[in-house]
Amino acid sequence: FYGLANMMAGDPATARAALSEAVTIAPKYDEASFMLAVSYLETGEVKLADAQAQKLQSRNPSYPGLNMLMGDIRSRQGRHAEAIRYFEAHTKNNPQDAKGFVKLGAAQRATGNLQQALANAEKSFSISPDDEALALALSIDLSSRNYERALSRINGQISRTPDRAELYILLGRV
């Protein structure tokens, strides 16, 4: 908990030290292993995050959030096809998690599967309208040169929430 508190307080070095100690003392403490892998990933130490996550995966492959973490790690490694498999497993088990669908869409976009990427961005947006899903859908529209759909998408969101400055920034990009 000391490690977690320091992660939340923005002190990744102290958090990592505490979590490493917890994993050393109790190597099968899954929550500490998971949080240590997350802390490594957040500080850009992707190899260490991967090693820690793989240890957890070998012990407890159904640990909550592990598929998302493994997908994030694979995405950061540029291994998008593998990331897709992890994100698909996550969304299958968590069909109301909008973040899982937007990450799946982003990985699919990276592999060139724009149709599926757009479908997952829209699924994410239908669950929980957020800027990340909207930005992904817009980027796919723009890369497909579907400017009309992009304008319609952003103007529709602006009409629903006209006081959000971020939307006008996205409109400017379109």
Q: Are 95 and 119 in contact (CB under 8 A)?
A: no
Q: What is the pLDDT of residues 8-53, one digit of tens each?
A: 999 988 999 999 999 999 999 999 999 999 999 999 999 999 999 9
CA distances from 138 to 58, 116, 133, 145, 157 (A): 38, 14, 9, 10, 12
Token pair listed for 82: 């593998």
Residue linked to tokens 């998971």: 34
Q: At what angle do helices 30-42 and 46-59 cross, to 10 degrees?
A: 160
Q: What is the pLDDT of residues 55-96, one digit of tens each?
A: 999 999 999 999 999 999 999 999 999 999 999 999 999 999
Q: What is the pLDDT of residues 115-134, one digit of tens each?
A: 999 999 999 999 998 889 99
| CB contact set of 92 (below 8 Å; sequence gap of 6+) | none
pTM beyond 0.85: yes
Q: At what angle do helices 98-110 and 80-93 cross, to 10 degrees?
A: 160
